[in-house]
Structure 1
Amino acid sequence: MFKPLSITLAIAAAFPHFAAAQEVERVIVTGSNIRTTQKEGASAVQVITAKELAATGKSSVADILRSISANSGNSYNEQYTGSFSAGTSGLSLRGLGQQNTLILVNGKRVASYATAQDLKETFVDLNSLPMAAVQRIEVLKDGASSVYGSDAVAGVVNIILYKEFKGTETSVQVGSSTQGTGQTEKSASLQTGFGNLDEKGWSVVFSLDALKRDKLQQSDVDWLAGSDFRNQAGGSRTWVPTNYVNGDATQLLGGRQGPLELLPYGDITPGKTGQVLAYNPSPYKTLIPGIKRVHSSLRGTLRLNEQTEAYADLLYGYSQADQTFAAPLSVSSGLRAWNNGKQALDTIPVLLPVGHPNNPTAKPLPFTATLFDLGPRMKQDKVDFFRALAGVKGSYLGWDYDVSLAHSGSKLKETVQNFVNRYEFEKVLADGSYNFADQSKNSEAVRNRLRLSTLRPAESKLSVVDFNASKELADLPAGPLGFAFGAQWRREEMDSNTSTAVLSGTELRPAINIIKGTRDVSALFAELNVPVVKDLNVNLAARADHYNDFGNAFSPKGSVRYQAAQWLLLRGTVSRGFRAPSLPEITNSTSVSYGSVLDPRDPVAPNQARGVTNITAANAKLNPERSTNLNLGIVLAPSSSTSVAIDYYRIKTKGVIDTETAENIIATEAQFPGKIVRDGQGRILTLYRQYANQGDRLVSGFDIDLRQSFAAQPWGKLSLNAQLSRVLKFEQPLALGEAATNGAGTNHFGSIPKWRGVTGLTWDYAAFTSTLNWNYVDGYQQVSNEGERVKPVGTVDLTVAWKLNPATTLSLIVQNLTDKRPSWDSSTSFFDYTQSDPRGRFAAVKLNYKF
């Protein structure tokens, strides 16, 4: 399905008579600033063409990129509903995190998402980028800090949009789950072009695409709806005990009401006796948000003279994600509200006073209750994204140059409903006007007093001035000596706020991710391409960056390309890179988040995930992460129809920025008790963390790219493409000062399967083009449940396109043809959403028309 550029050009290199018969255009390939006819460089670049994009049947740039084999782990899409960046989608090449993969559009930067992922990762939201306008995508699976800067440690993705387009093309697609979940998906696109650079001296391309998808709840999926996984290794019935007093789940507060059922305590926590009131959480869990997206792209080019052209492009994207954020609020001993003056959380007493209708005792009664009659807590995230860019490029005195100015931004408005007003809660608790034991008796007026809706704003901005120039300095015996240099200045700004209700202490159990910072970055870079002898090229590059908040960084790179024979290409690169501390990590920021931990000392449910509060602090004394990258590759092209590329990578990072894991904080509680706060029962309430340079990380592995085509026969033409990635090591300490642990094939550092693969078989016959794709994700060891191995998953996608006439194509698309379920992972209650999709088989029909 995905054809690496390296393979195609290696074949051309192996058959020079074929290449010589064509006029080869000088181009710049992602990862270099030097124009060359030698598109196949020292670094592997995977190219996904517009035709291949269509053959996948996928409806977004995010879905395309997240399926590539180099996306090893630690990348998130809209399934991460508990995130401050809900509804987004990122990419994490080599499993190194979304902040280490640089996303470009037409070779230029775009603004990161309005707020951070997992509190600290600044990243580009792929869901904000257009799909219809994409001509091809180039994926550089090699560190490129020397050319692009801090966030290119793991690699670069360059999304290239059409510069010219003839005519108009429209498409409509409608699809639905075949499993009765009620989830449907509709999309449409328009692409049109005017003018012609060669004939008229100008061109304009406009595109528009839209996507609407229904929300998928856990209760919609039959094998997840019951929240009972006792038939799985390490599984349990994950119902939630609530409505009890004195910290004892068997001392009931009232009886059945709303979704509550009376269950044996041992069904939920083995070894416990008695009965509890509990509810099934599945109706309150959104697996995939309902989404609405619109993207538009306008690109214009004007030829000023034979050597010069001006260009401009405007990108705009609107995204909306709707989800059930959580079950109605449960109030208990760990209830908190924010105290902005102290920059800390205040504990709110949850005690039924003497005389309260629900308190038959003669003293204040501690209790736990879920406020079901207020309704589930809901969330909507609306994002406006844009980039406006203008520039001039051309030739002057033998130099090819490109200068541009861009401004980009991402603006978030997040609204929530059915949260709870702290001050009204304190009032109804004191005066007895709210009945916790039988909520059917509560008036709607009291419920409306308690309900709270809020708005959380966030914004990210990026301003960039870019300049680069290149020239062939001399004609050496082995070829031209190429040189490029350039400069960049950019300003990054992030203002991620919280609601006024949180700042005033009004919202109970607030989540906070306040980030406010600005940084200026200036850089100089240079590159030299030296043809040493025939078929041997050496490329040297270097970049010097200055950050006004932490200082300087220098990133050199050297690479070698050797055409050892017509059928054999050898290549290698070695470089140094860095990742600057993100604005959330180093600047003024406050983070209060909620997660879950397995606490073996929990007195109520030691084998079940416990919700806790995380308070995370920034660190102004952070140093950047420093990396050393090594890449070695070989490309074999024994015939015009066969090509194999094997590339090894090794990335050593010093001073990795992170916080200590929750598992390690709990394991070392006796030595560092101040990092944990427990309630009177002994249950964890709060974990305290701070960003620090934790230690070193070593990641290594290799990629295999295979291409095999078969000559046209009476029965048609076949072509096979396969990409396979193997993670050999993913080593780093679990805590500062500890020896490194290898997380490859485990979920120590997020799920990192050792193998990922994509294999595509395309059959062209008459008016039909059929593509069958096999997507493989290896299993991994589940570290929190010793002995449990999460099973591998292989899914099959099918696309059949029927060309009804020269203008019209009808396609049938089936994702997950065999309806394969995600593999069980007890650490996530059912499956790891970074590796799997719960939708099951999904079928769609697409109509494409050109005129």
Structure 2
Amino acid sequence: MKARRKKLASAIQIAVFLAIPAVAVAQEATTLDTVTVTGSRIKQTNAVTAQPVFVLDREKIAQTGVQSVGEILQQLTAGGKALNAKFNSSGNFGYPSDGGGIGAGSAQVDLRHLGSQRVLVLVDGIRWVNESSASGVSGSADLNTIPLSIVDRIEVLEDGASAIYGSDAIAGVVNIITRKKFEGVEVHTYYGEYSRGGETTEASLTLGGGGERFNGVFSASYYEQKRISAADWEQSAWPEPGAGLAAGSSAIPQGRFTFCDPARPVGSYGSCTPSEEFFYDLALDDGTTTPVWNPADPSAGTYHDFTGADRFNFAPYNLLLTPSKRKSMFGSVNVDLTDNVRLHAKMLYNNRQSANQAAPEPIFVGPYAGTGGIADTIMISAANPYNPFGIDLIPGQNFGWITKRPVEVGPRIFNQDVDTTYFNLGLDGLFNLGDRSFSWDANYVHAENKAEQVFLNGYNMANIALALGDPTVCAAVPGCVPLDLFGGQGRPMTQEMIDWIRTRQIDSSKQVLDIASANLTGDLFGIGDRMAQFAAGVEHRRYKGEFNPDPLRQTGESQDSFAAPVSADYDVSEVYTEFNFPVLASLDLSAAVRFSDYSTFGSETTGKLGFRFQPVEDLVFRGTYSQGFRAPNLGELYGLTQFGATLVDPCGPTGSPVVDTTDGVSAGLEAACVAQGVPNNFEQANTQITTFTGGNPDLSPEKSDSYTVGVVYSPGWAEGLSWSDKLDFELSYYHHKIDDAIAPRDIQALLNACLAAGGQDPALCSPFTRGSSGNLNPPENFLDNLATIETDGLDVKVNWASPDWGWGVLTAALQATTVFNYEAVDIDGNRSQRQVGWEVSDSAIPRWQGNLQLGWKRGNFDATWNVRYISAVKEDCGNAVISAVPGCLNDEGVNTLGSTTYNDVQFGWKDAFALNGLKLSLGANNVFGKEPPVCVTCSLNGYDAGTYDLPGAFWYVSADYRF
């Protein structure tokens, strides 16, 4: 610890020496306004900087027609999959391995398909607190905590910037600039609706004003988005046109029963052989009110062999669009204490109430449930008055499982209530030393994000175990009544049964961020007629995170999923310096270095180099090289959860038993499956294999190397012409390589590699064990510094404006991104399934994405037409029954998700009805109602909600009145 302190102290001394300490204050009055561009702490005078920055001002934001910061950023061509309101991400899948939770109801941003945890979100150049959604301790920011009404512009740095801003800025930086100088009153109202419902309303009031030495802004806003049920979309019909019958759940309202009768002779159907090969696998006939069991001939009773046709379609119970209400207040104040020193303060409060919904919770009891908890060990007594089989069903002897979907209980509901508070107090100022000018700022920030989630219509597995066991034991417990899992829909559970097993579960989480920072920037010395410049600063941050899952989750008594509590914190102290040297009249060189000292793992130093070369006025060449790092967040360090990974078992995927060479399976695969104890004609009981996942306190930071090379051309010959008033071209190549990437093993790739190696390789196969039936037991898959991720591509931007042709001014703007390569390889040599042009795990990496905006303006009228393009991707058909999915009817078993184009239009009328300050807008996004392409491997709703729009058009109207 002393050594770390010495290194930090030495670095601070160097930074202060290089920064030229502020020992004098200029006597003459100077303006306090400063201009900085995201990606540098040095004040910028050039319109084109060394690093690529994309700016969305309020006018461009309004033209998108959406009312959420997250929705806007997710339309960027450089973006990838990130949470939004289209993800009905309920707790029934469990929690991902990063310990960050599901993030239900939040909106995040991803750049370069590298994950939202590798994008740094700033507000006015200062870090924003990470999100809480009562399901973990996340390393990502929730953009739904930032109301759009306070945003002046959004700057997106499309480059790594750890040397400037510290951890997390690997893929890029999003800096949201708030409104500071505002005069008057602005009232904004908005209403929109999808073709299938989902009304969206928004209203905000903004006040601003001040005097000679004071100005302030206050904003209050309300946002409400209503739900759309998946049942309103024909994609959710049964049988699904997407994934087919095999994608349905084996937990059905009629019940599925897998067991044997010890009284049956060994080797006959239903007998209790160690291999479980002759177990019954039955479903109750539809319409049955009184089950009839004939052990000699099951088909003579009211049962039949379970098949894929019995599976349950859960899709109509899901939500296409999750509901959300957000209320916020924001205030910003600037007070000039002297001519050269200003006090600034900001405050924000934001409340989000959102919800997710899933199909009625299924009940799984018996070892095939594979939860690793109580459900796997439950025994059903022969004395249970509803047990038609007349025998004890005992795990490890004669019991596989019973699954039942009691639709009479109602759907699972997950209600989130999230509060965000933010407070910033600081000073900033200017001073001169001779002919050199300097500016400085000091800030303290305290921010909290805390959430509570209430889960309704879940079950207490301990109560289920009592209700299925010895009735005399149950009778001795107040409230306990024997449970009927055997009657199907013809004999639904009674209210007394439901009341005994149903439970209300409450999870909560909280994240706290405290920041103290100071920055100094200004001139160093003259080089020719320009000045070399610098920036330097220190920053101390303290992170604290808590996750308190419901006690039933912690003990494994919840049917939903297991989760362990987290309560941890860490702090980091940092110092940085940055320089810009105009070595030639046309060439600037820049450099930055940052030293970070973490209480969790030690210290890290990162650097950045850049150049800007402008040989002629119209042409700029630029480039950067940056080292990056990302410190493991609290969830990654300490989380412990379960996740329902969707696995295709090559030894017998659900609905497609394949361990039989007569089915065309290779002898090598069959031998590997047999070596693992898989019986012939095996069928994996369920595609959702519970995986124990979570953090690792021994994690090290991720490290990255990134570089960009670009050119910006603004030809003077295209200005002031009859056909062009302005024309700009921009090309930027990017490349990111991340080493020691924090990730779990790709469990599917690892299982495939294990079987390809014969099924017994100790390194590849150690996470996988099987029950006597051949079903996979829950594997363990914890985080580690496992992977190398590498990606590169090209951004293209074009902007053009016409002169005033009398009938109006035309504008055109194009942003396009092509991804050349995306590759992730773990330490075992397994290559991730994610690659360019493929859809994997609800996440596509299209080869091309493009946005084209066309505009027209004349007087008080304007119109825009935005075209958004996503190139085609492919997916492995996986578990889909090929005959049920037209796109999979090919030799490769590959489904193509065709290219998709969305068209958005908007019409605006300024000073409408001769009322000065009134702006009316009418528009529609996806005006032609383009449907998202069917995705057979995507969870829940059969399409990739991180890449594509909701099905159907969205129209809206808005009114803005400023006075």
* Structure 1 length-normalised TM: 0.89
- Structure 2 residue aligned with 1:654, among 739, 743, 758? 739
Contact kept? 1:408, 1:462, Cα under 8 Å = yes
Change (3 A) 1:368 1:350: farther
Q: Helix, strand or coil for the counterpart of 1:828?
A: coil
- Structure 1 residue aligned with 2:57, among 37, 49, 58? 49
Q: How many angstroms apart in 2 are the aligned matches of 1:546 and 1:468?
A: 18
Contact kept? 1:317, 1:386, Cα under 8 Å = yes
Name 2:213's counterpart in structure 1.
201
- Kindly indicate whether residue 199 of structure 2 is the aligned counterpart of residue 168 of structure 1: no
Change (3 A) 1:680 1:283: farther
- Kindly indicate whether residue 444 of structure 2 is the aligned counterpart of residue 413 of structure 1: no
- Kindly indicate whether residue 521 of structure 2 is the aligned counterpart of residue 470 of structure 1: yes
Q: Matches of residues 243-282 of structure 1 in structure 2 within 5 Å?
A: 243-246=255-258, 251-253=282-284, 255-256=286-287, 277-282=310-315
Q: How many angstroms apart in 2 are the aligned matches of 1:228 and 1:190?
A: 48
Report deviation, 1:738. Answer: 4.0
Report deviation, 1:677. Answer: 4.4
Q: How many angstroms apart in 1 are the aligned matches of 2:647 and 2:904?
A: 36
Point out the more displaced range, 392-401 or 380-389: 392-401
Report deviation, 1:164. Answer: 1.1
- Kindly indicate whether residue 79 of structure 2 is the aligned counterpart of residue 79 of structure 1: no
Q: How many angstroms apart in 1 are the aligned matches of 2:451 and 2:527?
A: 54
Report deviation, 1:604. Answer: 4.8
Q: Helix, strand or coil for the counterpart of 1:99?
A: helix
Q: How many angstroms apart in 2 are the aligned matches of 1:307 and 1:648?
A: 42
Contact kept? 2:523, 2:534, Cα under 8 Å = yes
Deviations 1:781-824 (A, max 9, x none): 21455432221211011111122132212211211101001112
Name whichever structure is richer in strand by fraction: 1
Point out the more displaced range, 515-524 or 136-145: 515-524
Q: How many angstroms apart in 1 are the aligned matches of 2:493 and 2:833?
A: 54
Name 1:434's counterpart in structure 2.
483
Q: Helix, strand or coil for the counterpart of 2:377?
A: coil
Name 1:293's counterpart in structure 2.
326
Q: Helix, strand or coil for the counterpart of 1:54?
A: helix
- Structure 1 residue aligned with 2:874, among 771, 781, 797? 781
- Structure 2 residue aligned with 1:316, among 336, 349, 358? 349
Q: How many angstroms apart in 1 are the aligned matches of 2:306 and 2:493?
A: 32
Q: Matches of residues 840-851 of structure 1 in structure 2 within 5 Å?
A: 840-851=952-963
Report deviation, 1:652. Answer: 1.4
Change (3 A) 1:368 1:116: closer
Deviations 1:368-421 (A, max 9, x none): 222222221111011101110000000234431000000011101000111011
- Structure 2 residue aligned with 1:423, among 459, 462, 487? 462
Q: Helix, strand or coil for the counterpart of 1:95?
A: coil
Q: How many angstroms apart in 1 are the aligned matches of 2:202 and 2:288?
A: 42
Name 2:121's counterpart in structure 1.
103
Change (3 A) 1:571 1:499: same
Q: How many residues align?
A: 801
Contact kept? 2:749, 2:830, Cα under 8 Å = no
Name 1:645's counterpart in structure 2.
730
Change (3 A) 1:843 1:441: closer
Contact kept? 1:336, 1:509, Cα under 8 Å = no
Change (3 A) 1:817 1:97: same
Name 2:597's counterpart in structure 1.
546
Report deviation, 1:274. Answer: 6.1
Contact kept? 1:716, 1:763, Cα under 8 Å = yes
Q: Which amino acid aligns with 1:390?
A: L
Point out the more displaced range, 622-631 or 681-690: 681-690
Q: Which amino acid aligns with 1:384?
A: D
Name 1:370's counterpart in structure 2.
405
Q: Helix, strand or coil for the counterpart of 1:64?
A: helix
- Structure 1 residue aligned with 2:165, among 148, 165, 175? 148
Tell me the percent identity.
26
Q: Helix, strand or coil for the counterpart of 2:639?
A: strand
Q: How many angstroms apart in 2 are the aligned matches of 1:167 and 1:537?
A: 42
Name 1:134's counterpart in structure 2.
151
Q: How many angstroms apart in 2 are the aligned matches of 1:834 and 1:249?
A: 41
- Kindly indicate whether residue 495 of structure 2 is the aligned counterpart of residue 460 of structure 1: no
- Kindly indicate whether residue 414 of structure 2 is the aligned counterpart of residue 379 of structure 1: yes
Report deviation, 1:755. Answer: 1.1
- Kindly indicate whether residue 711 of structure 2 is the aligned counterpart of residue 711 of structure 1: no
Contact kept? 1:134, 1:160, Cα under 8 Å = yes
Change (3 A) 1:757 1:276: closer
- Structure 2 residue aligned with 1:359, among 381, 384, 387? 387
Q: Which runs of 5+ in 2 are unaligned?
A: 1-30, 91-101, 260-278, 290-304, 394-398, 472-480, 658-683, 720-725, 879-891
Name 2:97's counterpart in structure 1.
none
Name 2:693's counterpart in structure 1.
616
Q: Matches of residues 382-393 of structure 1 in structure 2 within 5 Å?
A: 382-393=417-428
Q: Which amino acid aligns with 1:698?
A: E
Q: How many angstroms apart in 1 are the aligned matches of 2:288 and 2:625?
A: 65
Name 1:663's counterpart in structure 2.
748
Change (3 A) 1:239 1:589: closer
Q: Which amino acid aligns with 1:790?
A: L
Report deviation, 1:433. Answer: 2.5
- Kindly indicate whether residue 523 of structure 2 is the aligned counterpart of residue 516 of structure 1: no
Contact kept? 1:307, 1:394, Cα under 8 Å = yes
Name 1:796's counterpart in structure 2.
903
Q: Which amino acid aligns with 1:766?
A: G
Q: How many angstroms apart in 1 are the aligned matches of 2:375 and 2:497?
A: 23
- Structure 2 residue aligned with 1:449, among 487, 500, 504? 500
Change (3 A) 1:110 1:157: same
Q: How many angstroms apart in 2 are the aligned matches of 1:500 and 1:741?
A: 36
Contact kept? 2:123, 2:176, Cα under 8 Å = yes
Point out the more displaced range, 548-557 or 78-87: 78-87
- Kindly indicate whether residue 785 of structure 2 is the aligned counterpart of residue 693 of structure 1: yes
Q: Which amino acid aligns with 1:37?
A: T
Q: Which amino acid aligns with 1:360?
A: P
Deviations 1:581-635 (A, max 9, x none): 222222x321122232222324752489711212114222222111111110100
Change (3 A) 1:540 1:442: closer
Change (3 A) 1:660 1:610: same
Name 1:595's counterpart in structure 2.
645
Q: Which amino acid aligns with 1:144?
A: A
Name 2:276's counterpart in structure 1.
none
- Structure 2 residue aligned with 1:187, among 172, 189, 202? 202
* Structure 2 length-normalised TM: 0.79
Q: How many angstroms apart in 2 are the aligned matches of 1:257 and 1:217?
A: 30
Q: Which runs of 5+ in 1 are unaligned?
A: 1-22, 259-271, 339-343
Change (3 A) 1:684 1:372: farther
Q: Helix, strand or coil for the counterpart of 1:62?
A: helix
Report deviation, 1:96. Answer: 0.8
Q: Matches of residues 628-643 of structure 1 in structure 2 within 5 Å?
A: 628-638=705-715, 639-640=718-719, 641-643=726-728
Change (3 A) 1:276 1:647: closer
Contact kept? 1:791, 1:824, Cα under 8 Å = no
Point out the more displaced range, 497-506 or 246-255: 246-255
Name 2:226's counterpart in structure 1.
214
Q: Helix, strand or coil for the counterpart of 1:28?
A: coil
Name 2:884's counterpart in structure 1.
none
Contact kept? 2:256, 2:306, Cα under 8 Å = no
- Structure 2 residue aligned with 1:819, among 929, 952, 957? 929
Q: Which amino acid aligns with 1:821?
A: E
Q: Which amino acid aligns with 2:373?
A: L
Point out the more displaced range, 759-768 or 426-435: 426-435
Contact kept? 2:865, 2:906, Cα under 8 Å = yes
Name 1:627's counterpart in structure 2.
704
Q: How many angstroms apart in 2 are the aligned matches of 1:478 and 1:334?
A: 79
Report deviation, 1:734. Answer: 5.5
Report deviation, 1:190. Answer: 1.2
Name 1:62's counterpart in structure 2.
70
Report deviation, 1:184. Answer: 1.3
Q: How many angstroms apart in 2 are the aligned matches of 1:734 and 1:51?
A: 44
Q: Which amino acid aligns with 2:352?
A: S
Deviations 1:429-452 (A, max 9, x none): 123732223364543222111110
Q: How many angstroms apart in 2 are the aligned matches of 1:226 and 1:809?
A: 43
